[in-house]
């Protein structure tokens, strides 16, 4: 007996003859026994039978940048049809990191008149983007060149990059009264550099998974970039290369490494380390060029000898790792009121940029009271509140067309991939 009508792309193959079941055995028990003889667990059979209830293969909440493809819940838990719950730790970490990003942008105009604001700015910039990038690398470990993953990379990263680069350009033309500011997809403006960097990093993931020493190699590339001004500004390649070690580190870490930094002893140790970092930042604020934390320029472009590039790259990589570990140590692991907002952090990241830049264009920081201690506290709270609201589900629904477009019309149908997703 053979398949009468094969699916598109499949071959006709003979079907095995039905097995004779022992008397009293049900067909279900026979199937289970056959699976056990083949080395397949019954949990696998049950999980492959149908997608879990309430989870559709192409829902934007799973596949979009708010919830990256590698963060999707497992299709079925062992022995049941319910999806595996998201790890609250990572959602909490992403939300807290995006709040620090917004606060850091709010502190930037305050640095000249406040040494405390400058110190906090240095501390936050030393670890907030490295923490984001490490998490991005961690959830990119399973990325390969499979068609469905490439499609999600395009719709979830490349398309938002193009749309927001254009939107930011028109916003600058209007808000900064600069009608001739050019649209250039080769020169990421403000926050869009992270999208183009993530696109490049994801595409190179299969390469990092096959080399023997990925992290030393990534550090070598970052060091070479740090004293190579000829790289130029196209696609913000300096940032792509200098932040690369953090992404590669994320690819290499395992769950037990996160469990290690979340131990009680690490939380206790993080307190004096963070206190020492604050003291050092307060001392270094008037003496250090904060542009080192942006990783967008070579040493020569910062006006120092070339050998400062390798020294600062290694020193800042080590300092950032220490502060990221302290940050992860104090991230709650349980579900809290803001945990669900962790799935929408890319919305908050890109959308708050309009207000962050608009506040400079429109002279909001020209008011004297903002530069008082109470004004700085209020600005900090406002920044945290705004980015929190921008991560909420209603905002995600409004801007999903730009952040998580399906664009099924743009890709060829893939019957084999569709069958895989249905499983």
Across 257-266, average pLDDT: 95
pLDDT more than 70, % of the chain? 78
Q: Are 97 and 349 in contact (CB under 8 A)?
A: no
pLDDT computed for residue 44 by the predictor: 36
Produce one character per residue of 325-345: b if its CB has 16 or more CB atoms within 10 Å, e if not. bbbbbebeeeeeeebbbbbbb
Q: Are 227 and 307 in contact (CB under 8 A)?
A: yes
More confident residue, 144 or 48: 144
| Inter-helix orientation angle 308-329/88-107, to 10° | 130
pLDDT at 64 over 70: no
More confident residue, 7 or 161: 161
Provide CB contacts within 8 A for 228, sequence distance 6+. Answer: 298
Instruction: State the pLDDT confidence band at 134, using cuts at 50, 70 and 90.
Output: very high
More confident residue, 42 or 119: 119
pLDDT computed for residue 371 by the predictor: 93
pLDDT computed for residue 46 by the predictor: 34
d(CA 343, CA 403): 12
Produce one character per residue of 4-19: b if its CB has 16 or more CB atoms within 10 Å, e if not. eeeeeeeeeeeeeeee
Length of the chain: 423
pLDDT tens, position by position, 293-337: 999 999 999 999 999 999 999 999 999 999 999 999 999 999 999
Least-confidence region, from 40-44, 154-158, 244-248: 40-44
Instruction: State the pLDDT confidence band at 63, using cuts at 50, 70 and 90.
Output: very low
> What's the whole-number average pLDDT of the chain?
84
Q: Radius of gyration (Cα) for the chain, nearest Å?
A: 25
If you ran DSSP here, which 8-state letter would residue 16 be given? P
pLDDT at 22 over 90: no
pLDDT tens, position by position, 23-40: 444 444 443 433 333 343
pLDDT computed for residue 240 by the predictor: 97
pLDDT more than 90, % of the chain? 75
Across 122-126, average pLDDT: 96
d(CA 408, CA 149): 13
d(CA 261, CA 330): 9
Q: At 2, phi and psi to the nearest 5?
A: -125, 170
Q: Are 330 and 82 in contact (CB under 8 A)?
A: no
Listed as own residue / partner, the contacts of 265-274 with beta carbons closer than 8 Å and 24 or more positions apart are 266/325, 266/329, 267/329, 267/330, 269/329, 270/325, 270/326, 270/329, 270/330, 273/322, 273/323, 273/326, 274/323, 274/326
């Amino acid at each position: 007996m053979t398949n009468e009508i094969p699916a598109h792309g499949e071959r006709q193959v003979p079907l095995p003859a039905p097995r004779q079941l022992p008397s009293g055995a049900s067909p279900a028990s026979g199937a289970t026994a056959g699976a056990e003889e083949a080395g397949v667990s019954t949990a696998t059979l049950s999980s492959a039978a149908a997608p879990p209830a309430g989870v559709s293969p192409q829902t934007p909440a799973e596949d979009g940048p708010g919830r990256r493809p590698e963060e999707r819940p497992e299709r079925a838990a062992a022995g049941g049809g319910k999806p595996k719950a998201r790890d609250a730790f990572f959602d909490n970490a992403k939300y807290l990191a995006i709040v620090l990003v917004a606060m850091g942008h709010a502190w930037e105009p305050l640095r000249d008149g406040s040494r405390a604001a400058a110190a906090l700015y240095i501390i936050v910039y030393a670890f907030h983007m490295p923490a984001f990038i490490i998490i991005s690398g961690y959830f990119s470990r399973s990325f390969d060149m499979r068609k469905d993953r490439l499609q999600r990379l395009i719709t979830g990263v490349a398309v938002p990059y193009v749309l927001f680069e254009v939107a930011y350009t028109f916003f600058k033309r209007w808000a900064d009264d600069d009608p001739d500011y050019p649209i250039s997809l080769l020169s990421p403006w403000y926050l869009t550099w992270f999208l183009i960097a993530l696109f490049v990093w994801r595409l190179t993931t299969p390469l990092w998974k096959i080399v023997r020493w990925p992290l030393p190699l990534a550090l070598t590339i970052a060091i070479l970039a740090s004293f190579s001004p000829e790289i130029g500004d196209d696609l913000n390649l300096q940032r792509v290369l200098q932040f690369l070690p953090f992404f590669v580190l994320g690819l290499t870490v395992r769950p037990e490494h996160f469990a290690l930094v979340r131990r009680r002893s690490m939380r206790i140790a993080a307190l004096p380390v963070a206190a020492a970092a604050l003291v050092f930042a307060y001392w270094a604020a008037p003496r250090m060029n904060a542009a080192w934390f942006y990783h967008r320029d070579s040493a020569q472009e910062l006006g120092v000898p070339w050998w400062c590039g390798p020294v600062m790259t290694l020193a800042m990589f080590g300092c950032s790792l220490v502060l990221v570990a302290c940050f992860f140590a104090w991230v709650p692991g349980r579900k809290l009121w803001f945990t669900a907002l962790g799935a929408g952090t890319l919305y908050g990241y890109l959308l708050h940029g309009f207000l962050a830049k608009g506040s400079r264009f429109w002279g909001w920081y020209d008011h004297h009271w903002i530069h008082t201690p109470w004004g700085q506290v209020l600005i900090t709270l406002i920044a945290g509140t705004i980015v929190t609201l921008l991560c909420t589900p209603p905002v995600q629904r409004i801007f999903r067309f730009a952040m998580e477009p399906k664009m099924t019309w743009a890709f060829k149908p893939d019957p084999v991939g569709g069958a895989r997703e249905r499983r």
